[in-house]
Amino acid sequence: FIMTDSLLLNAISWAREAGAVHLRYFRGNQLEIKSKFNDSDIVTAADKAAEKLIIDHIKSTYPHHSILSEESGLENHDSEYRWVIDPLDGTTNFSQGLPQFSVSIGIEHNGVTEIGVVYAAYLNELFHAIRGRGAYMNGELVKVSGKARLDQCVVATGFPVDKDRNPDNNVDNLTRVLPHVRGMRRLGSAAIDLCYVGAGFLDGYWELNLHQWDVSAGLLFVEEAGGSYTHFRTDRNVSVLAGTPAIHDQLLPMLSTEAATK
């Protein structure tokens, strides 16, 4: 456990530092919002500052570890260890002054995520999971809600950044699921969505066209909280469904496994 524990403690303290960076920029006038893929895909000065902080820490403490981070890409050192980082998940919310944003850090050992940390600074919610040792919110063990009836469930989703010109935009799935649930939400941070499934605040969540840094920590969190998840299609980057075991099983057949054309 010794290596795992020091990795976890470092990941938590660096996530908290990144969260402090978020708060320095949040609702301020130094955001420097720039478009990436299109105007639905943006990056701010806070994304870059948080990323630099985390990567600098990793490089000085674990110089041989590989790093995959959203804004800098892959730095491969052929290490057993790889850090998978989203320095600011929920940048659209962040840029609007909406509080659902987070930093997500997953640590893989030989390709398997062993540690996941998600910190939502404005909400003061710290989620962490260690493989085989449970899922914790602000230090307390959490579990999925255990709900089994879809009509009593609140479920979240999200919409892909190419929704303007690709008809495969998740509206097909939404149309199928919406009538059957108590409520649908679009919270805007995939990492928070997954942790909220683990903590029992959401009963299910799905989204297509995500990336590894969005889900690395969150999927371990769901698993350690007793939830189920599936990569429900393979043709749109990372596409995941997560939920209580029963709700996961009910939602899975309702999601398209190939591209919608209208």
Chain residues binding ligand IPD by CB under 6 A are 86, 89-92, 158, 188-190, 207, 210, 214
In terms of CB distance, is 113 or 209 closer to ligand IPD?
Answer: 209
In terms of CB distance, is 168 or 207 closer to ligand IPD?
Answer: 207
Q: How far is the CB of 2 from ligand IPD (least distance, A)?
A: 32
Please report whether residue 89 would count as binding Ca ion according to CB under 5 A: yes
- Bridge-based pairing of strands 204-210 and 238-243 is antiparallel
Is residue 40 within 8 A of residue 142, CB to CB? The reply is no
**Binding-site partner at residue 100 among Ca ion, ligand IPD, none, CB < 5 to 8 Å by type:** none
CB-closest chain residue to Ca ion: 89
Beginning with the edge strand found earlier in the chain, give each strand of the sheet holding 135-137 in spatial order: 73-75, 66-69, 81-89, 102-109, 112-120, 125-130, 135-137, 140-141
**Of residues 178-217, which lie at the interface with Ca ion (CB under 5 A)?**
214
- Bridge-based pairing of strands 66-69 and 238-243 is unpaired
In terms of CB distance, is 116 or 188 closer to ligand IPD?
Answer: 188
**Binding-site partner at residue 256 among Ca ion, ligand IPD, none, CB < 5 to 8 Å by type:** none
* DSSP H/E element including 154: strand 154-156
191 backbone dihedrals φ, ψ, rounded to 5°: -65, -40
Q: How far is the CB of 29 from ligand IPD (least distance, A)?
A: 20
**Binding-site partner at residue 90 among ligand IPD, Ca ion, none, CB < 5 to 8 Å by type:** ligand IPD
Query: How large is the angle between the packed helices 45-61 and 2-25, nearest 10 degrees?
Result: 160
In terms of CB distance, is 103 or 247 closer to Ca ion?
Answer: 103
CA 85/CA 88 separation, integer angstroms: 9
Q: How many residues bind Ca ion (CB under 5 A)?
A: 5
Please report whether residue 51 would count as binding Ca ion according to CB under 5 A: no
Q: Is the dihedral of CA 45, 50, 54, 57 positive or negative?
A: positive
- Bridge-based pairing of strands 81-89 and 66-69 is parallel
The residue count of the chain comes to 262
**Of residues 119-148, which lie at the interface with Ca ion (CB under 5 A)?**
none
In terms of CB distance, is 216 or 244 closer to Ca ion?
Answer: 216
Q: Note the residues at the interface with Ca ion (CB under 5 A).
A: 70, 86, 88-89, 214
